[in-house]
Structure 1
Amino acid sequence: MSLKNKVLAVGAVIAFLAFSSVFAGKENALVGTWRMVSATVESQGSRSEAYGPNPHGWLVFTPELTFVEVLTDPRVPVFRSNARGEGTDEENRAAMAGSIGFFGRYTVDQNGEFTGNTVLGSTFPNWVGAVRTRDDLQLKVDGDQMVEDFRRPDGAKVHIVWERVK
C-alpha cells in the first residue's frame, strides 16, 4: 500500500471513529432551529409566564455539537436612549430580567438524545462555565416538538416548549 493510500485510510478511520463515538446509534434529534412556544416558571406553588404570554426565543443546535439560545420577553420597553450602554437602572433591570442569551457545546448519547451542555458565554455571567447534565436539564424531542425542563438554583421549575422551525 502506498504512503498516500495509508494516509487516506488512517484519515478515514479517524473520521469514522470521531463520528461513530458521537452518533453510534440514531441521528442527533436536537439538530436544527427551534422556536420557543411557551415558557413557564413554577415557584412556591405559583406559576407564571417566564417571558410573557407571547415569548420570543430561538434555540439552535448544530451538527458540530454547538448551540446558541436567546430568550426574550417582547414586552420589555425600549430604552429612551438609543444607545445600549446608556440605559437607566430601571431599563437595564427590565432588560436583564426579561431576556437571556447564551451559547456553548452540547453532547448526545448513542441514541442521539441530549446528555448535557457547557455554557461558554452568556449575558448572565454566572452561567459562563456552567456544566449541566441530564440530572440538571432535560430536553425531550418528540417529532417537531421539544420540551425543556430544569430547576433554577432557587428551586423554581422552568418548563419551555419549543417547535422545530422548518
Structure 2
Amino acid sequence: MKHIHIVTTVVRSGLFGLALLSGVALAQASLDQQLAGAWTYVSVDTVRPDGSRTPMYGANPRGLVIFDGHGHYALVNTRGDLPKYESNDRMKGSVEEYRAVVQGSIAHFGTYVVNEADKTLTFRIDTSTFPNWNGVEQRRPFVLTGDELRWTTPAASGGGSGEVVLKRAK
C-alpha cells in the first residue's frame, strides 16, 4: 500500500511539473507563435463613431483565418446565410445572387508580420476578392487572450471601424 502511495505521489509531482513547464512555455511563446494556427469567426461588427454596431456578415459569420507560423496567412469570411444560386451554376447567377455573394463575403491571402511591441498585426495582402486591396498593407491592433483573438480594422471598407472576434479552431 505504501508503494502505491509513493508511485502516485511521484506521478502527480511529475504531471504537476509538466503542467507548470507547459504554462511557462506558453507564457514565453512570442505573440507570433501564439497566433499560429487556424481561427474561426465569432463576430465581425462595423462600429460607428457613436458606438452603435452592425453585424457585417450577419449574426453567424462563417470563415477561417490560418496563420502558418512562417509569415503566410489565408483568410475567408462569409455570411452564414448566403442564398444558394437558383441555377446551381456559379457562372449563371442572377444580379441579386452575385450582389449577395460580393457583399456577404471577403477573402484574401498573403504574408503577415506581428509587431510584439505595439501588438499589431500587419497583413501584406497579395490577392483579395476586393481587388482594391491587392498589394496593400493593412495594420490592425489585436489582443490575444487564450483561445480568443480580437482585432480592429481602423477604417473598414464599409465605413466606420471593424471589430473581428475569432476563436482558435479545435
TM over 0.5: yes
Alignment match of 1:141 (pick from 121, 141, 144): 144
In structure 2, runs of 5+ residues without a counterpart are: 1-28
State the secondary structure of the residue aligned to 1:85.
helix
Following the alignment from structure 2 to structure 1, what is the Cα–Cα distance between the partners of residues 44 and 120?
A: 19
In structure 1, runs of 5+ residues without a counterpart are: 1-24
CA contact (8 A) 2:110 2:124 kept: yes
Q: Which amino acid in the other structure matches residue 57 of structure 2?
A: Y
Name the CA shift for 1:131/1:78 in 2 (closer, same or farther; >3 Å). same
What is the root-mean-square deviation in Å for CA atoms of aligned residues? 2.1
Residues 91-106 of structure 1 aligned to structure 2 (within 5 Å): 91-106=97-112
Q: Is 1:41 aligned with 2:46?
A: yes
Residue equivalent to 1:152 = 156
Name the CA shift for 1:139/1:64 in 2 (closer, same or farther; >3 Å). same
Greater relative CO (CA pairs within 8 A, separation 6+): 1
CA contact (8 A) 2:38 2:66 kept: yes
Following the alignment from structure 1 to structure 2, what is the Cα–Cα distance between the partners of residues 85 and 49?
A: 28
Seq. identity, % = 32
1:115 Cα deviation (Å)? 3.8
Q: What count of residue pairs does the alignment treat as equivalent?
A: 139
TM-score normalised over the length of structure 2: 0.74
CA contact (8 A) 1:35 1:164 kept: yes
CA contact (8 A) 1:30 1:114 kept: no
Larger of the two Rg values belongs to structure: 2
Following the alignment from structure 1 to structure 2, what is the Cα–Cα distance between the partners of residues 143 and 31?
A: 13
Higher helix share: 2
